[in-house]
Structures are given as structure tokens and as C-alpha cells.
Amino acid sequence: MPDWLKDAVFYEIYPQTFCDSNGDGIGDIKGIESKLDYVMSLGCNAIWLNPVYDSPFMDAGYDVRDYYKVAERYGTNDDLKHLFETAHEKGIKILLDLVPGHTSDQNEWFLKSKRPEKNDYTGRYIWTDCVWEAPPQYRLLCGITDRDGNYMVNYFSSQPALNYGFNKITHPAWQKSPTDPDCVATVEALKDIMRYWLNMGCDGFRVDMADSLVKNEDGEKPETCKVWKNVRAMLDKEFPDAAIVSEWCNPKVSVGAGFHSDFYLDHDTNGYRILFRDKNWETGECKAVFGKNGKGDITKFLDEYLDDLKGTKGKGYISFITCNHDTPRMTRMFSELEAKIAYSFIFMMPGVPFLYYGDEIGMKYMEGLTSKEGGFSRTGTRTPMQWDSTANCGFSTADADKLYLPVDTGADAVTVEKAEADPDSILNTLRKVIAIRHENTDLQSDGDFEVIYAVKEKYPFIFKRGEFFIAVNPTEDVQKAPFAFDCNTVFEIGNHSREGSYLVMQPQTISLLRLEK
């Protein structure tokens, strides 16, 4: 386990919309490098960088044409190497985004795989044995190559699925076992890609769709787990300080498979949605725990989370996110104050937290945008970072119509410049919270978590981490709970008081308290 993860706080950067250094309307690596001091000022000591590989950008870079080359619009391999070096000088780690399950249909591997004559890449992707074989349970593209067969895609038609084999073989003529030499070769190629960038200076990888490799696999996905255990063995031997974080959202399984941390994502009925995203968009009714109307139920979250926490304790971490490039920003359903309390809570929790660019200033989810590079409903979360009051909010000197996506031009548009000047802004609030986290090991990734007060459909929620208590009342009503501890206030949004043996929390309050010694 890389020791640096114990106190890691990540900042996710979507490269095409973070900072444009050359005025072409698209963010780039040199732009990111120019903002490293800003990242440091947040208290973030690690970065997750969304894909920067060469790509035709049918899916914003998650369709990789060349795993070994930086896309020209972002810069060069040397630029990325220099970013690693500069970040390391400042004490910042960088994870690249690894896309192991599919490539672009323009990738050289696929161009060779679709040739009718057999070659070293014939089995690198999943093909049926003839063009007339197209089982409806699979996403297959039919009759568009000279090769006699149809190929599987992971989702978009431009993303042919790499071949890691099938757990349950239902069509023996073309489905291979994970131990087939072609599938083993795919795993070895993945490891070589990782070696290349780790030797270049990156500190590990966030892994896209990490649970999707071996097909026809349910439940705990044992064959996909074997792939990642193989990868982890390589890392432990050759790059023991490198970290891998999975997009899996099943931490007991993914950590057991070798990942150091797993994202807690916005999936139907899971704990993350219960906390932050549970809203009926037709009626407008919000049942999220952190919604101000007080209709949430913290026990639904705890039923899942405590089991996951127990299953990963001492083995790996759970990563809470403020948002990511696939998820509507929390400000779409929460007010600034609701979001501020929710974000503060995230950085007081165990595990390795991730802050999505722009969330620290309360950027909006931009409604109604035309899909960009396969973004569709996700496009509104991928708009340019808003830095200051200059043209294009300081993102780029290009003409507005040349920008990758439009910036928020509203009179109430948030910027870093405005947030810096407001001591109560989300930005300055999170700086305080993250600084306190860094200063106290009890609040870091390995720290304990103990529930003190959590009652079905009631508030507040109180939990303990070492010598600290965190009490949360996101509702618009005064809430109180039995509390028998004498504490000092370390940090607070809103305020609390004591009435005998009760803790009384004013509306929309989160309190970080330290036990008196």
C-alpha cells in the first residue's frame, strides 16, 4: 500500500476545460502546469487527470487511439513528463486515467485485428466467428469490416471491446477462456502501457470501468479480479509506490482484487445517492440526506457504508467524490450552503477523497448544452473552469465561439477571483477543512469511524473519528441529540449549543468538535 495515500486529497482535472495556455480554446498540459500552485492552495496534494492520450475524441478521450502518445491538442509526451516533474517538486502526485476495457476503432491494434488474414492482433478484440453470428444479448457491430465476423463494443460504437475472455462460455466457437493466449496477451499489453507511464513519472492510475474486463461475469466477478490481482502483483514488485483507484463502486470486491481505493459513485439506490443525489426530478422532491428539507434517512447510507468500511479496513480505501466528469454537479440540486456542508462532510470522512474541478467555487451544471464529444447529459458538468473576470472567465484567450464548451456568462457566474475575496465562500471553507484534515491523522484516510447518533429518518447525524466528533444537521430546522462529551469547536458552518446532556444544532450546521483532554 503506497504510504502517501494515507494523507492524499485528490483534485480531478478535465484537461480540455481546465486552462488553455495557447489560446486555441481547448485546455492543455501547460495550462494545468500553470495552475499547480492553485491546486496546492486548496490543500490538494494529488491530481487525477482525465485521459490525455491520442484519440479521435468520439468519447472525450475515453476512446484511445494510441496509449503511448499524448493527444496533440494537449501537448507532447515531453510536456506531460515535465508536468510530472514540476508537480513532484511541489509535492503533488498525479494519476493518469487508464482505459483498459476498450480502445478507439482507429487504434492500430484494432486496424490490424479487423484484417481478414490472421495476425498477432486477430484475437486482441472480441469477434464472433462469422458475420451471421450476432447474439442479441451483446453489443455487436455487424457487417462493416472485411473480416468475417462481428465485433463487440463496450458501449459507444467507436469503442471495440478488448478481449480478456469470458467467464461463462455460451458460444464456444468464438468466446475464449481468460487463460487463452490471446486474452493473456491483452493483460500483458495493459501492463506494458502502465509501465511506460510509470517510468515516465506518473504515480499510478484511476481505472475506467475496472469491473468490465472479463465478459459474462456476475456478482463478484472472479475472473476480472484475477486480472487485477495480476496487475497489482506487477505493481508491488516493480512500482510499489504507485496507486490504482477503481471505477467499480464495490469496494469489498475491488480492494480485494488489488485496488488501493474504489470510488463511491452515484448509482441507483446506493449510499452516495442516498446522501447527495436522491431527488425525483419530475416532482422536485428531494430525499437526499444532505437536502435542507430533512427528508433523508442516514441509516440507509450506514447500512451499506459500514459493511463496506469493515470489509476494506486495513486493506484499502473508499473514495468519496464531490462530483466527477460523468455526474451532474451537486449544485444542480443543492443551494450553495447545502453543497458547502455536503462537501465539508466528504473531507471529514475516512478514505481518499476527490474534489472535482470547479466544485470548490460552486460551479453550475450548465443545462441545455449540445452534446460535445460523447458527453450527452454529462456535457453540462464539463464546462471550462471559471478563473476570473477577464474574457471567457480567464479560461482561454480564444474567441468565445472557439471554446471547447461555453463558459457561464451569467451575472452570478462564480469565479476563483470572486471566491477568493469572500471568506465564507465554498473555496475558503474547503481550504480550512482540508487543512484541518492534513493536520490531524484521526481525520485522514486510515482514521477510525464510529457512529454516535444515527436514527432512522431523523437528524442530526453524529460520528466520531479518533478524538474528533462530527455533527451534521443539513436541515432547515433545529435538531438535537443526546451527547455526553465535553468538546471544543475546531470548525463550524452554522452553530451549535449544549442543553444539559443534549447537543443542539441550529439549521444547516456542520460542526467539527475535539474531545477535551
Confidence check: pLDDT of 319 > 90: yes
**C-beta separation of 288 from 272 below 8 A:** no
Write the pLDDT tens digit of every residue in 93-117. 999 999 999 999 999 999 999 999 9
CA distance 235 to 200: 15
CB 48 within 8 A of CB 245: yes
pLDDT band at 515 (very low <50, low <70, confident <90, very high): very high
Across the range 114-128, mean pLDDT stands at 98
* Domain identity same for 271 and 393: yes
Beta strands 66-70 and 53-54, pairing class: antiparallel
Residue 309 forms part of a structural domain: yes
Q: Is the pLDDT score of 289 beyond 90?
A: yes
pLDDT at 461: 98
Question: Quick one: 72 and 137 in the same domain?
Answer: no
Residue 303 lies in a domain: yes
Domain end position, chosen among 392, 426, 441: 441
Residues 227 and 324 in one domain: yes
352 and 494 share one domain: no
Residues 133-172 pLDDT 10s:
999 999 999 999 999 999 999 999 999 999 999 999 999 9
| Residue 68: other Cβ atoms inside 10 A | 13
Q: 433 and 328 in one domain? A: yes
Question: Cβ–Cβ contacts within 10 Å for residue 439, how many?
Answer: 11
Residues 195 and 51 in one domain: yes
468: CATH: 2.60.40.1180
The 10 Å Cβ neighbour count of residue 378 is 18
**Cis peptide bond N-terminal to 460, omega within 30:** yes
Q: Are residues 156 and 208 in the same domain?
A: no
* Cα Dmax for the chain: 82
Is residue 176 in some structural domain? no
Query: What pLDDT is stored for residue 295 in this prediction?
Result: 96
Task: Give the model's pLDDT for residue 35.
Answer: 98
Q: Are residues 116 and 265 in the same domain?
A: no
* CB within 8 Å of 291: residues ≥ 6 apart: 278, 279, 333, 334, 338, 474
What's the pTM? 0.98
Is 173 inside a domain boundary? no
Number of domains in the chain: 3
In this structure, are 385 and 470 located in the same domain? no
The answer to the question of residue 167 being in a domain is no
In the sheet with 261-263, reading across from the earlier edge strand, the strands are 317-319, 261-263, 243-246, 204-207, 93-98, 46-49, 10-13, 354-356
Q: How far apart are CA 122 and CA 182, in angstroms?
A: 8
As a whole number, mean pLDDT of residues 49-62 equals: 98
In a domain? residue 292: yes
Q: What is the number of residues in the chain?
A: 517
CATH number for the domain spanning 141: value is: 3.90.400.10
Mapped onto helix, strand or coil, the DSSP state of residue 205 is strand
pLDDT in tens, 467-513: 999 999 999 999 999 999 999 999 999 999 999 999 999 999 999 99
Strand partners, 279: 286
Query: Does any domain span residue 175?
Result: no
| Span 319-333, average pLDDT | 97
409 CB neighbour count, 10 Å cutoff: 9
Which residues face 213 on adjacent strands? none
Asked if the model's pLDDT at residue 269 lies above 90, the reply is no
pLDDT digits (tens, 9 = 90+) for 35-50: 999 999 999 999 999 9
Q: Could you tell me if 501 and 432 lie in one domain?
A: no
Model confidence pLDDT, tens digit, residues 394-433: 999 999 999 999 999 999 999 999 999 999 999 999 999 9
CATH assignment of the domain containing 202? 3.20.20.80
Please give the C-alpha separations between residue 81 and each of 51, 55, 339, 349, 357, in angstroms, as whole numbers: 15, 19, 35, 33, 22
Position 123 confidence tier, pLDDT thresholds 50, 70, 90: very high
Same domain membership, residue 414 and residue 289: yes
Grid coordinates representing 203?
504515480
Looking at every residue in the chain, the average pLDDT score rounds to: 97
What gap in Å lies between CA 460 and CA 263, rounded to an integer? Answer: 26
Residue where a domain stops, chosen among 407, 441, 475: 441
Among residues 492, 449, 423, 265, the alpha carbon closest in space to that of 350 is found at 449
* pLDDT at res. 210: 98
Nearest-CA neighbor of 306 among 430, 133, 454? Answer: 454
Tell whether 172 is covered by a domain. no
Please check whether residues 420 and 495 belong to one and the same domain: no
Residue 296 has pLDDT above 90, yes or no: yes
What is the domain range of residue 130?
A: 102-161
- For the cut 90, the answer to whether the pLDDT of residue 348 exceeds it is yes
Q: Return the SS3 of 5.
A: helix
pLDDT digits (tens, 9 = 90+) for 201-214: 999 999 999 999 99
The identity of residue 190, as a single letter, is: L
**Has residue 517 got a pLDDT over 90?**
no
